[in-house]
Amino acid sequence: MKKTALRSITLLTLTVFIAAGEAQAENKDLKKVLEEQGIYVETSKPGIKLSGYVDAGYSYNFTSRNAVQPLRSGNDGANASENGGDFNLNNFKLVLEKPLPEDNSLSAGFRVDLNIGEDAALRVGSNANDGLSALQIQQAYVNFNLPMGRGLEVKVGRFGELTGVESPERPANLNITGGLVASLLPGEHVGLMGTYSLSENWTVNGVIANPAWTTNGDGTEFVTGTNKGNSAILTTGSLEYQNNTKNLTTKWVYVHNPNGGNGILTSPTVAGAGNQVANEGESLLFNHNTFWSPLCCKDKLLLGYNAAFGFYDNYANAPVGVAPREYNESYWGVAGYAKYLFNSVFSLAQRVEYIQSNDGAKFGTVGSALTPTNLNGKNSEALGFTTTAGFNLWENMLLRFEYRADFTHINDSAVTSASRNGDETVAHLAAAQVVYSF
């Protein structure tokens, strides 16, 4: 009897130790998953990551809204036609992602980027006064890797454009507000993209997409960039080089649309137009950019430039019943960037840029209607200076302050401005930003 009881106690003790060991092993496995996968979300498949940020701040517009001003600047304050400022909820961003594994295997994943805030409201087509928020699906695609050669990655859905100089996300850029040259470039595309690494240094991308794109940047641009078509397919591609030491990257990009639809203005008009002839013009854009971090500066200094050139052919015709008249537009711009990290806390960034449009219509509708009629054959140009001071005071939190000045020559008598000097307009903007990333 005693032997039987002793045997039972021994078996019970062993069972407890085994169960405890299994529970400890499960806890270690869970800890490993959390460490390797980041924030773990309960789904049918492991490895899905959740990330994002909250971006808020304050901006003050020293100049009443006019042709030189970014749209967002003109919308700040109690009245879009007056100077002033207010607090801004720029963006609340959520990213849900199942990334592809690093090895070259047959695999699939996805990514969804959601933006909520004032920037999203501007990017979906609303430029009402501050305080208006909207939901924007910035990206939503399925991607998969085909183990062909070095591996071919394919994305299907909505994804970002190829230039990659200034992101639509403010925290990812060197400055708070979007640049003039970046506003000439596309934002997102809806279609199919393929990415292939030719070698350790060279990568090529190709895209077939719908002919409309979202204007790049954070909603601060005054350049419309709309490119709508009914049946055309937009094509874009890039060739990127990165040196062996990973401190220099250069990229060449083109965007072509054989059928430009409404072209450069959302609704191009001709004086007295009641029923305008549909446009089937062509648009073409070239972009080249380079960024370099000198090894001698030990990752403290970053230098770069961005250049763009494009044209639209036959972007607007005369109304029905009026003698046809074609309008063509060419534009170009160049931007220089510099950022220096003084220490682990403080950094200073500078952007200098210039853009020009031979017809002026690329600058879009600001202040009052800029129609192809009163801009045809007249050059318009803008010169911008932006200085941004950044502070990394706490982990995952960024604090920045910015001053911006834009000097613009708009050839249109319909535009008025309190700070106008002949055909010259000047706009000044100060901004502050705080971002927490998770």
CA distance 35 to 57: 32
Per-residue confidence (pLDDT) for residue 357, from 0 to 100 = 79
CA distance 100 to 163: 22
Stretches where the chain sits below pLDDT 70 are 1-46, 64-84, 125-132, 212-232, 259-281, 314-328, 359-379, 410-424
Per-residue confidence (pLDDT) for residue 373, from 0 to 100 = 36
Per-residue confidence (pLDDT) for residue 284, from 0 to 100 = 85
pLDDT in tens, 42-78: 445 568 999 999 999 998 877 754 434 444 444 443 3
CA distance 148 to 203: 15
pLDDT in tens, 202-219: 999 999 988 765 544 433
Per-residue confidence (pLDDT) for residue 150, from 0 to 100 = 94
Per-residue confidence (pLDDT) for residue 386, from 0 to 100 = 95
Q: Write the DSSP string, 296-365.
A: GGTTSEEEEEEEEEEEEES---PBTTS------EEEEEEEEEEEEE-SSSEEEEEEEEEEEESSSGGG--
Whether the CB-CB separation of 100 and 107 falls below 8 Å is answered with yes
CA distance 434 to 360: 35
The CATH fold of domain 49-88+154-437: Porin (2.40.160)
Per-residue confidence (pLDDT) for residue 118, from 0 to 100 = 85
Residue 34: Cβ-neighbour burial (10 angstroms; 0-12, 13-18, 19+): exposed
Per-residue confidence (pLDDT) for residue 131, from 0 to 100 = 57
The residues that bridge with 321 in the sheet, in sequence order, are none
Q: Where are the beta strands (DSSP E) in 166-269?
A: 188-197, 202-209, 234-242, 248-257
Structure tokens at 290: 């380079």
Each domain of the chain, given as residue ranges in start order, spans 1-37, 49-88+154-437
Q: What is the pTM of this model?
A: 0.77
Q: How far is CA 166 from CA 124, 383, 418, 423, in A?
A: 18, 18, 31, 29
Per-residue confidence (pLDDT) for residue 88, from 0 to 100 = 86
